[in-house]
Amino acid sequence: GQNIDQPTEMTATEGAIVQINCTYQTSGFNGLFWYQQHAGEAPTFLSYNVLDGLEEKGRFSSFLSRSKGYSYLLLKELQMKDSASYLCAVRDISNSGYALNFGKGTSLLVTP
């Protein structure tokens, strides 16, 4: 199985930068995904890392270190609408259907 850990809750100020960490343990890593989920809504795709390094997409960046089993999602210039749960999800090569396994999510509260 996989073990995916991320902090339960974080709080940050509007306009600031926040980093949400995710650690994972998996026998056959095949990609790490970040999703955003507002309460009562579907997860929406933010980023995908399969190689080490930083992927930047606008205000959002995601970093991966496969040797450390570690990723982070960086959110810049925080806006109130960024208050949501951020889900780290890992794909393993043993997942024959390319399914993802999700962490419990980090609930981010952006305050004025």
C-alpha distances in angstroms, 69 versus 10, 13, 41, 50, 76? Answer: 21, 28, 29, 12, 23
Shortest separation between residue 101's beta carbon and another protein, angstroms: 6
For tokens 């600031």, the residue is: 16
Total interface residues for another protein by CB under 8 A: 22
Note whether 33 binds another protein by CB under 8 A: yes
In the bound state with another protein, the residue whose beta carbon lies nearer, of 27 and 96, is: 96
| SS3 call for 80 | helix
Residues forming contacts to another protein in the complex (CB under 8 A) are 33, 37, 40-45, 48, 87, 89, 95-105
